[in-house]
Amino acid sequence: MAEPIRVGIIGCGRILPAHLRGYATLRAKGYDNFRITALLSRRREDAEMFRKRGQGPTPREPVSKNPGDPLSAPHRYVSDFQSDVDAEVFDDFDALLHSGTVDALDIPASVFTHHDYAVRAADAGKHILVQKPLSVSVAAGRVIVEAARRNGVVCEVTENVRYALPSRAARWAIERGEIGEVQMVASVAIGTLDWSPDKIVADTPWRHLRRQAGGGATLDIGVHLFHRVRFLCGEVQSVSALARTFEPVRYRRDARGTVLDSVTPDADDAFMATFQLANGGIGQISFTWAGHGEPTSLPDGMVIYGSRGCLKGNTLHRDGKAPVSVVDLFHAEATTEERAHWMPLGLSDSFAAGFYDYFRSIEDHRQPEASGEEGLRDVATSFAIIESSESGRPVLVDDVLSGRVRAAQRSIDEYHNLLQA
């Protein structure tokens, strides 16, 4: 039997508990052909915080109270699910790369570091798993994908939306023709309980700075929304959108309301977009971190209308039939082969399912479902929002993907020395 895949985790921030929960779930489901062998953070104490229970600094509290948000995952330690190998702590990336301790990386670091870490890792022959969004710009994503292809390594983006059971069941139902040809899509959300109207999102000021975040709500949340649209409905062909920055200052406050930190944003906190699908269908998406008063959203989440019915969140409405949970329908009618494909090992944790695809791709010498190319297309579609808003016209996603349209990204690419990419 081959030795387990040795994984180094690059970046020990707010999303890492959700990653560790996924790894723990994967081990609990009987797949253990991996070991976490390294943890890297620029601040060693941040890496030591996750290494071994009973050691290291006091854990941070989750920043979200929304149970569906990965940022609400409780703190975990590598030692909680792995007792035979102690992860080594690093604060220097080159030292980790050349330590002989890793075969593959998981990179949940800040988005503006993704292309640097991923390209250097691929050039060193390491497989790469990159937290969404794949990159700070389309050009940055392109260099990641090209490096992976050049070096023959697996490249996956951590897009948990794709691996969530409701998405898998919905894709299964749409492929079966349950709603017919997709015609219309809508997802509307104005304001959030956690961050509106003026809180620093996830206590992370860089999320509001264009050179570091790429985009605000457009990129951070847009990649999730457009990935689900693309996964369920096919490619997005063109986008017409408006993006705005409504809150001039964002704050981090303590429980008594005392301001602890602030940031002056230049990345958007609101967008509204219409789009056309490659099959001729049309859609509307909005999301904002801005918004005073009570948040507003479609009660069922994303809705997809077809020529024979619709999906309203997790509920399938078919012409002439009673409504049914699409997950319940999947459980009742999916074949053994379909279950194995859409829900391997019975995994319902979306991070665990994505990690399983990553490791099996390494074992089978193939690219995963949520490949680097998929992540790059998500980034291009999301940047189409900004490019359309700043140019005042609709844009083709293919033009953003190729770099023919990149005016809104020019300052980002110049800052990161990517103008020639």
Instruction: Give tens-digit pLDDT for 193-215.
Output: 999 999 999 999 999 999 999 99
In a domain, 296, yes or no: yes
pLDDT, position 215: 97
Type of residue at 271: F
Report the mean per-residue pLDDT for the chain: 97
In a domain, 385, yes or no: no
Render pLDDT for 19-44 as a digit per residue (tens, 0 to 9): 999 999 999 999 999 999 999 999 99
Are 332 and 363 in a shared domain?
no
Which residues on neighbouring strands pair with residue 9, listed in sequence order?
39, 106
Q: Is the CB of residue 385 less than 8 Å from the CB of residue 243?
A: yes
Residue 1, pLDDT above cutoff 60:
no
For the chain, how big is the Rg over CA atoms in Å?
Answer: 21
Residue 171, pLDDT above cutoff 80:
yes
The span from the CA of 421 to the CA of 147, in Å, is 12
Are 202 and 62 in a shared domain?
no
pLDDT, position 229: 98
Question: Which CA distances in Å does 92 have to 118, 282, 325, 417?
Answer: 15, 47, 48, 22
Number of neighbouring beta carbons within 10 Å of residue 251? 15
The span from the CA of 305 to the CA of 272, in Å, is 19
In a domain, 183, yes or no: yes
Domains in the chain: how many in total?
2
Q: Is the CB of residue 82 less than 8 Å from the CB of residue 125?
A: no
Q: Quick one: which of 73, 48, 52, 51 has its CA closest to 62? A: 73
Q: Is the CB of residue 297 less than 8 Å from the CB of residue 303?
A: no
CATH code at position 290: 3.30.360.10
In a domain, 421, yes or no: no
Q: Is the CB of residue 379 less than 8 Å from the CB of residue 387?
A: no
Question: The domain containing residue 76 runs over which residues?
Answer: 5-162+347-370
CATH code at position 15: 3.40.50.720
pLDDT, position 2: 76
Q: Quick one: which of 7, 9, 375 has its CA closest to 157? A: 375
In a domain, 420, yes or no: no
